[in-house]
Every structure is written in C-alpha cells, then in structure tokens.
Amino acid sequence: MAFAVTSSSSAAISGSSFSRSSSSADLKVPQIGSFRLADRYATVNLSQKRCAVKPVNAEPKRNDSLLPQAASISAPEVSEKVEVEDFEQLAKELDNASPLEIMDKALEKFGNDIAIAFSGAEDVALIEYAKLTGRPFRVFSLDTGRLNPETYRFFDEVEKHYGIRIEYMFPDAVEVQALVRSKGLFSFYEDGHQECCRVRKVRPLRRALKGLRAWITGQRKDQSPGTRSEVPVVQVDPVFEGLEGGVGSLVKWNPVANVDGTDIWNFLRAMNVPVNSLHSQGFVSIGCEPCTRPVLPGQHEREGRWWWEDAKAKECGLHKGNLKQNSSAQLNGNGNVTAAHTDIFDSQSLVTLSRAGIENLARLESRKEPWIVVLYAPWCPYCQAMEESYVALAEKLAGSGVKVAKFRADGEQKEYALKELQLGSFPTVLFFPKHSAKPIKYGSEKRDVDSLLAFVNALR
Ligand code: SF4
C-alpha cells in the first residue's frame, strides 16, 4: 500500500522545540505536547527538513460553522511536491534489518511527526534504541487510570533516566464517568474488556495519533500466536488515522517485530536499561492492574492478559488491525462474526434506523429534513475508526435541521444495502437530500468531522 508524504516542509525545527537543556530544573517544566532530550542524546541536524512541531494530541482545526462551505470541499492547492512511498516494499527491504536500523529509518523519515507508544513494559527497549540513534524522539503513553503503582513509578524512572517527558494521554472524563456509573468499576469481567478499553485506551490513542504521521510500537510476532504472527516491521496503519486524516494517513513502525522476547531481555540487560519492577514478580506482558496477572514458567505471556476471554482475540483495540475477520462471513453476511461485537456510534444525537426505517427514508420523494446515514458494521475497523468523528458530527448537527443516523448493514441486511443503498465497503456514508429521492454517496476516505460537515453543508 502506498502512502503519500510531503517531501518538504515549510517549517524547519526551531531551536526551542528541540531543547538541548538537561538540567533537572528544566525537566520540572510541564511539556505535554512537546519533548526535550538531554544533551547527551540530542544530535539535532538543523539542516534536515522537518514538519512543524505539533502536540501528540493535536486536533485538526475545526470549523464550528454550519453555514455552507462549498469552498472548503474543493481540492486544495498543491504547493509542495508529494512523494509516494511504498511501505510494503520498504517492509520487505527492512525485514532483515536490526531494530536499531529500523528505528533510525523511522525517525529519519518522520522527525517530529512520529512518536513511540510506550506501555511501561519491556517496550522500554524502543526508547533505548531511539536514544542510540542519536536522533531526537518523542514518547507517549496511555494513562488509563487503572495501571499498577509500579508502572507509574517506572514511567517516572524512565523520564529521569532518558531526560525526557512522556506525553501522557488520558481518557475523556465524561466517558469514564458514564461507563463506571452505569456499569461499575469491573464491568469488563462480566461483558468483556472491549468497552472499557475503547474508553480508556482506544479513544485516547486515536486522539494521540491524529497529531502524528507515524507511530512506533513494541509489537513482536512472538507475543501472540493468534494475532501478531504476521506483524511487518513497517506498514500503513490499517485502523487509525494520522494528521492528514483518512485511511492510509498514518504509518506504523514495529522495529522489534522479528525479535523474540529473550533477545529483548538480553538487550535490556546488556544496556543496563531500567525495567518495570513487576517483571520480577512474574509479570511479562503489562497492562492495566485488573486485567493483567503474572504467568507461570512455560505459560505464554498473553495468558496473563484478559485471562477470562478467548485466547486468540487478546487485542485491546490498540492493534486491532491484527485481528483477522472471517472475510467470507462478512461477505456472505451470515452474522457469525457480527455477534461478538458491541455496537458502535452510540449517541443520543444519532437515530438508529431499522430496515423498515431506512426503506421508508429511501422511498420518500421529498423529506421534511435532509438525513445523513452511515451504513456500518460494528466489527469493521474503519467504522470503529470513524466512530468518534461521526458522533461529533451528530452532536454538532443536533437541532440544525439535519438528521444524523446509522444503519447496521452487515449480516442479513447486506444484500439489501448492496443492491439498494450503494454499499461498496464499510463504512458507506449517504446523504438523503430534502427534495430528491436518490441518496448521494460520500466519496472521500477523509472521515474527520470537518470533512463530513463540509459534505453536509455543501448539499443541505
Ligand atoms: Fe479497562 Fe482492563 Fe482495558 Fe484497562 S485493560 S482499559 S482496565 S478493560
């Protein structure tokens, strides 16, 4: 899969963004959204072309106006030369490269638009590799609010050891509040970890990635035979969107994909890298406190995560692209795959259309108000990726005279949706104008709230 990157940048790195200061006083200054490195690690080549510094949780600029914005959906002027990189080819070329070489390539290519996702476990190796490249680097982590005290202490130790500030991402307080108030603190033991992970991990991660063009993970093939056995060293992210928005706008680097756990530990010991004290208590894979437990010698590390659930599906949503769907089941719509997934686009501002409801809507020659409808399947990663922006769209349009709705179009509804609703792939977004029977299909892969809003405003 090809991925377009700009080959030049209008903004070079400013000296202040890449501070070389390493005094302890400097490290006390809050720097969320920026990073700094100690002198000994920062080898900054100011002649290199880089993009402007953006916080890891940068949101694209939003336009709150509901007035028609036809101009905003016209093709943007192309002022920079665009290079197209074939990351499948690059993954093949780098398949035998060392983690250090892969890390170096990743940091060289993406500069300040890439960050290491650090979980607080042995993926500290990524930070060590980044340090060894001599290039500046950024690190972010998801603070779910449910981590072990040992992990928090380890974060602090890592910050001090490397002279960095970790850019923490936190869950949305209102969402956590709603989940805990309605279902309690341990709902994941009863109805699965997906919902809690979505609120505490996946959505904060999505926000973080929207400020980046690439991210670096510690995924390894040997970590999960069911889900990670084919992880490439670099790939266009199959699930999440980057700064530019749309499918394919983010690159995911997995520098230790081909390294096994023993070699990671040999490396950590050889380099005298600090490690999470939970490892000495038998923890291998480390996540949230209620969902992680030590494993016995000979047990696979993933057996210590969500042990009450199916062993083959142990992904929290951060690497959902690793989960293989039964594609024939999706295509045939036999419903087997769909049953296991929690519904998405859950908002009071959204109308849930039944089959009869969407048939009525499609039949009308003129409607009281225009509708925008997403045809979706809850298991589809691209639908999950646009959930936040579509819900935000519904909230922005509430009371505006445009109805926002969803229609679950997999399973037995799929044939109808293919024949009558222009369903090509999930998600398909349709606009039903006021005075015309025929719905208009949204043709772009940019599914951020501004792009969807521009589509609505151009047609309403
Ligand atoms: Fe919630 Fe457990 Fe997922 Fe952490 S790992 S976000 S506590 S379900």
Q: Which range is least confidently modeled, 227-236, 316-325, 406-415?
A: 316-325
Taking CA atoms, 60 is separated from 1, 76, 209, 344, in Å, by 25, 16, 11, 23
Asked whether the predicted pLDDT for residue 27 surpasses 50, the reply is: no
Mean pLDDT score of the chain: 78
Q: Whole-angstrom Cα distance, residue 176 to residue 150?
A: 23
For residues 221-237, average pLDDT: 78
Q: How many CB atoms lie within 10 A of CB 256?
A: 30
Q: What is the pLDDT of residue 67?
A: 32
Q: What is the pLDDT of residue 315?
A: 53
Phi, psi of 385 (to 5 degrees): -65, -30
Q: Are 274 and 161 in contact (CB under 8 A)?
A: yes
Q: Whole-angstrom Cα distance, residue 99 to residue 254?
A: 9
How is residue 457 written in tokens?
């405003």
Q: Atom 2 of ligand 1 has which residue's CA nearest to it?
A: 291
What's the pLDDT band for 229 if we cut at 50, 70, 90? low
What's the pLDDT band for 311 if we cut at 50, 70, 90? low
- Which ligand 1 atom lies nearest to the CA of residue 199? 6
Q: What is the pLDDT of residue 56?
A: 57
Q: 148 C-alpha to center of ligand 1: Å?
A: 12
Q: 191 C-alpha to center of ligand 1: Å?
A: 12
- Which ligand 1 atom lies nearest to the CA of residue 289? 7
pLDDT digits over 331-386, tens only? 333 333 333 467 888 888 899 999 999 999 998 888 889 999 999 998 887 888 78
Q: What is the pLDDT of residue 302?
A: 67
Q: Which residues line ligand 1 (CB under 6 A)?
A: 144, 146, 188, 193, 196-197, 200-201, 287-288, 290-291, 316
Separation of first and last alpha carbons in the chain: 35
Taking CA atoms, 206 is separated from 16, 198, 444, in Å, by 27, 10, 20
Question: Candidates 151, 179, 196, 306: which one to mutate for ligand 1, based on the most atoms within 8 Å of Cβ?
Answer: 196
- Which ligand 1 atom lies nearest to the CA of residue 194? 8
What's the pLDDT band for 136 if we cut at 50, 70, 90? very high
What's the pLDDT band for 24 if we cut at 50, 70, 90? very low
Q: 217 C-alpha to center of ligand 1: Å?
A: 19
Q: 145 C-alpha to center of ligand 1: Å?
A: 9
- Annotated catalytic residue within 197, 288, 291, 380: 380
Asked whether the predicted pLDDT for residue 117 surpasses 90, the reply is: yes
Phi, psi of 22 (to 5 degrees): -135, 15
Q: What is the pLDDT of residue 209?
A: 95
What's the pLDDT band for 201 if we cut at 50, 70, 90? very high
Comparison of pLDDT for 301 and 26, the residue scoring more:
301
**Active-site residue, 380 included:** yes
What percent of the chain stands above pLDDT 70? 72
Q: Whole-angstrom Cα distance, residue 168 to residue 208?
A: 9
Question: Candidates 119, 143, 144, 185: which one to mutate for ligand 1, based on the most atoms within 8 Å of Cβ?
Answer: 144
H or E segment to which residue 162 belongs: helix 149-162
Q: Whole-angstrom Cα distance, residue 386 to residue 326?
A: 22
Q: 91 C-alpha to center of ligand 1: Å?
A: 31
How is residue 448 written in tokens?
């951020």
- Which ligand 1 atom lies nearest to the CA of residue 195? 8
Q: 291 C-alpha to center of ligand 1: Å?
A: 6
What percent of the chain stands above pLDDT 90? 50
* Cα dihedral 381→338→304→298 (10° resolution): -100
Q: Atom 4 of ligand 1 has which residue's CA nearest to it?
A: 288
Q: Are 164 and 34 in contact (CB under 8 A)?
A: no
Q: Atom 8 of ligand 1 has which residue's CA nearest to it?
A: 193
Angle at CA of residue 383, ends 382 and 384, nearest 5°:
90
Question: Candidates 147, 193, 195, 205: which one to mutate for ligand 1, based on the most atoms within 8 Å of Cβ?
Answer: 193
Q: Atom 7 of ligand 1 has which residue's CA nearest to it?
A: 288
Q: What is the pLDDT of residue 283?
A: 87
Q: Atom 6 of ligand 1 has which residue's CA nearest to it?
A: 197
Q: What is the pLDDT of residue 90?
A: 95
Taking CA atoms, 237 is separated from 82, 211, 212, 252, in Å, by 19, 14, 12, 5
- Which ligand 1 atom lies nearest to the CA of residue 146? 7
Q: Whole-angstrom Cα distance, residue 85 to residue 4?
A: 6
Q: Which amino acid, residue 359?
A: E
Q: Whole-angstrom Cα distance, residue 16 to residue 286?
A: 35
How is residue 173 written in tokens?
């307080």
Q: Are 291 and 276 in contact (CB under 8 A)?
A: no
Phi, psi of 277 (to 5 degrees): -65, -15
pLDDT digits over 247-293, tens only? 789 999 999 999 988 999 999 999 999 999 999 988 888 899 999 88
Q: Are 305 and 318 in contact (CB under 8 A)?
A: no
Q: 270 C-alpha to center of ligand 1: Å?
A: 32
pLDDT digits over 137-178, tens only? 999 999 999 999 999 999 999 999 999 999 999 999 999 999
Question: Candidates 179, 201, 292, 319: which one to mutate for ligand 1, based on the most atoms within 8 Å of Cβ?
Answer: 201
Taking CA atoms, 232 is separated from 5, 105, 286, 384, in Å, by 20, 15, 22, 22
pLDDT digits over 446-460, tens only? 788 888 999 999 888
Q: Are 34 and 13 in contact (CB under 8 A)?
A: no
Q: 196 C-alpha to center of ligand 1: Å?
A: 5
Q: Whole-angstrom Cα distance, residue 93 to residue 75?
A: 34
What's the pLDDT band for 226 if we cut at 50, 70, 90? low
Q: Whole-angstrom Cα distance, residue 131 to residue 140?
A: 15
Phi, psi of 267 (to 5 degrees): -65, -45
**Active-site residue, 291 included:** no
C-alpha 25, offset from chain centre? 33
Q: 287 C-alpha to center of ligand 1: Å?
A: 8
Strand partners, 403: 371
